[in-house]
Structure 1
Amino acid sequence: MPASRVQRVAAYVVCVEDGQVLLSRLTPRFGSRWTLPGGGVEHTEHPADAAVREAAEESGLEVRIDGLLTVDSLHLVRDHITGAEMDHHAIRIVYAGTVVGGTLRNEVDGSSDTAAWVPVAALDGLDQVSLVKIGMDAWRAAGPDLPGAGVVEGAG
């Protein structure tokens, strides 16, 4: 095992409107796969505030947090891009959210390079990180209890 161990807490948001989910695409350095908008929680920052901040950084959109969907834990022992050994523990907090303002745009000089509304029905054919499925499954399970949450026609 590698000498250093890393634990990272990050917060993400699932925003679904009109049968589409807001996603951001990671830069090639991180594998060019689609993910939920979000990222690392800064020291003393509330995770919900981190999800709002990261969504704005990655997409230009202002998001309101509607509720907690799930908390996921992921332990990585090998970098999926380089194959290098690692000891990385990711704690991923996923919220349901609603876009309340802003203009969709791509992040510049960040961990993502594209922000887009993607049809929920097209997610199965998309190159994505596991968090997208985890977040969408939790969003579907929330049903009508959260604004905007529940089953989307054609979402499977």
Structure 2
Amino acid sequence: MKKVLTIAGSDSSGGAGIQADIKTITVHKMYAMSAITALTAQNTRGVFGIMEATPEFVENQLDCIFTDIFPDAVKIGMVSNSKIIEAIVKKLHQYNAKNIVIDPVMVSTSGCKLISDEAQDALINLLLPIGTVITPNIPESQVLVGLK
């Protein structure tokens, strides 16, 4: 059974983030693992709060996963600050992670900005270069190529 690690925010409504990733991974008969970058209070009407994990805690989660159940692929979603991005990139390099899918989540479906300007720069300069596949939607693509 293939093992997939999702690194993303937690969506309390279950419609996005690690909850949606875990459902998708499981329905495709793979083993899902997660490292949480932030907790969000959200539902179909909007995002009402975001509590970020510390970079150290994200690193701790990644160490636990990579030293025990090494993933065959890594999917990265919402990462809202540059220090967490730096921590993720450091650990993915340290463990020589392969098959990295980056979904550059910058704005929620309800229109709430989920990433700081500093994190956007780190996403573009540090995270995207290590991706095997990048899956932006049209608005995210426009931001990434400088059209917005």
TM superposition score normalised by structure 2: 0.28
Please state which structure has a larger fraction of its residues in strand.
1
- Bigger Cα Rg: 1
